[in-house]
Amino acid sequence: MKLWGGRFDKDTDKWANDFNSSISFDKRLYKHDINGSIAHTEMLNKIGILNQDEADLIIVALSEIKSDISEGKLQFSNDAEDIHMNIEKILTEKIGETGKKLHTARSRNDQVALDIRMYMRDEVSEIMKLVADLCGTIVNISENNYTTIMPGFTHMQPAQPITLAHHLMAYFEMLRRDLERLSDCGKRINIMPLGACALAGTGFPINRQFIADKLNFDSITANSMDSVSDRDFIIELCSVISIVMMHLSRLCEEIILWNTVQFAFAEQDDAFSTGSSIMPQKKNPDIAELVRGKTGRVFGNLMAILTIMKSLPLAYNKDMQEDKPVLFDSIDTVKLCLPVFNSMLDAMSFNKENMYASAGKGFTNATDLADYLVLKGIPFRSAHEITGRIVSYCLGSGIPLERLSLDEYKKYSDFIEADIYEFISLEACIAKRNTEGGPSADSVLSHINNSKEYLKELIIPVYEY
């Protein structure tokens, strides 16, 4: 008989039973479910619902069940529907009638809300560690390439010269924001819902703060109906993970481009590349492409949980059982992608000569020519027009700005002198952009050093039970 089957005259249909069951995916919550039940047992003992012998018996049995599950000694049953009822069933079979007292003053509605929050806060810490590791790799590569000149792009067209370090440190900033979002999201996850029961709390004199303290929660939920019907924290984490994946995907796209023969800025290590079954010359960036592809999967999970929740009245509805597969998949996917992406990036080699040569194409120093004219006293709009006409002439002649003769420059402005060549060199273009956040060596090194300090001081929470 089901643990809830007292008012039913018929057994559940097999198809309905299997359809209703969630043990296939929520079994991963077993540690959190048992840790929550142990804290609940201690609270029931504290308020006199369980005597000391009963509490000790339940706690020892739950600890043994946790070990047995970890070691693969126990099989879960679809008939018991979910992880909560499976563990309660195993407990009752193990210790008898005393096990039936565990569920006093709680419901599966607040129990699953507790379990998922405990699981998520642990996973947030794990994801933060992986993002921080990737940040460290980016800093290391940048420190070795703060003078490696490459073209910067807008609209995928050559724009201005920058350095590889400056380019990669832009991704550091994206990932730093991801770390901040993960940390902030963790604050809204770490709120204790147990005690809300099905939706209206309980008449027993429970001590919710006692459980919150035992389980290292920062606070307790303020409304019993919201406690069991809230999935904002799941939506928020799925959103944050989507943003992390979007950032990985953007860098993957650039890595894929950089590894093409046309760009030849970088080369993937053989350990992170694959070949073709028909074309023997191929070296494909499959890891980067897979991370880019899995980003769409994570975006889909976010849309799924938003759609699941969009029309649900208060309080708990069975629809909400579908929150876990999408959450678990997003967490699993980002944890799968981050370490392999990090290793791939760390093993990549960069073709500095090709990057430098590419930075010299496409008139990336044209803005500096205009700036030069401004410094000579010409209004910027006029300087912009003059520079545009010079670039047009160079395009027609097939020569870059630095190879124009001074006489040719003089045809467009008498203000241009021999110092123009030094002013528009790639090195000078970068060096003079020395403001905070700019690509100059000093600015980038300052950014790198500040980033090292940030990573050193980053606090990633660890929860003890």
Q: In this structure, which amino acid lies at residue 23?
A: I
Helices marked H in 47-107: 52-70, 83-95
Q: What span, in angstroms and rounded, lies between the C-alpha atoms of 140 and 138? A: 5
Residue 432 token pair: 């003079």
Task: Confirm if 150 and 355 have CB atoms less than 8 A apart.
Answer: yes
**Which sequence positions are flagged as catalytic?**
155, 276
Q: What span, in angstroms and rounded, lies between the C-alpha atoms of 52 and 391? A: 87
Find how far residue 21's CA is from the centre of its chain: 30
Q: What is the DSSP letter of 274?
A: B
Q: In this structure, which amino acid lies at residue 408?
A: E
Partnered with residue 191 across adjacent β-strands are: 219
Q: What span, in angstroms and rounded, lies between the C-alpha atoms of 378 and 162? A: 26
Residue 237 token pair: 């984490």
Evaluate the CA torsion angle 108, 113, 117, 119 in order and state its sign: positive
The half-sphere exposure of 366 on its side-chain side, counting CA atoms within 13 A, is 21
Candidates 151, 153, 148; CA nearest to 161 is 151
Q: In this structure, which amino acid lies at residue 295?
A: T
Phi, psi for 43 (deg, rounded to 5)? -70, -45
CB atoms within 10 A of CB 86: 25
Task: Confirm if 2 and 8 have CB atoms less than 8 A apart.
Answer: yes
The half-sphere exposure of 335 on its side-chain side, counting CA atoms within 13 A, is 16
Q: What span, in angstroms and rounded, lies between the C-alpha atoms of 422 and 409? A: 14
Residue 152 token pair: 């910067």
Q: What span, in angstroms and rounded, lies between the C-alpha atoms of 108 and 235? A: 21
Q: What span, in angstroms and rounded, lies between the C-alpha atoms of 461 and 266? A: 37
Kindly report the three-state secondary structure assignment for every residue of 17-56: HHHHCCHHHHHHHHHHHHHHHHHHHHHHHHCCCCCHHHHH
Partnered with residue 267 across adjacent β-strands are: 349
Evaluate the CA torsion angle 208, 185, 298, 315 in order and state its sign: positive
